[in-house]
Amino acid sequence: MIWAFLGIIIGIITGFALNFSIPIELTKYSAVMIMGLFDSLFGAIRAEATEDNFDGIIFISGLLFNIIISIAITILGDKLGLDLYLAAAFVFTFRIFNNIGATRRFLLEKYLKKKQK
């Protein structure tokens, strides 16, 4: 889990240092890729925080699957003339908020139980 955070921090620092701009034609694709990344990241945080079984292979495969499916949906939407990337962004946002909520509830319950003892 620490390696995932370290990789993300290094990626963010590198991204700001390189001052790389994304062409306007690719913004939909980069948006769904970033949302897929955040979905996998917050799922991993939830698994780690709630003492579920975090598995690095599941994290990586979920990350790749999220990105591939979201890009495929975006490409299909472009071919059909529809903004299907919004559906992927909506689903990822919903899952991110669910994972954050589950993590928050678990940590709050753990804190309250500790405080009662």
Domain boundaries, the chain: 30-116
Confidence (pLDDT) at 86:
92
Higher pLDDT, 68 or 12: 68
Q: Which amino acid, one-letter code, is at 43?
A: G
Pick the range with the lowest mean pLDDT from 7-16, 50-59, 104-113. 50-59
Q: pTM score, two decimals?
A: 0.77
For residue 54, the one-letter residue type is: F
The reported pLDDT for the residue numbered 1 is 63
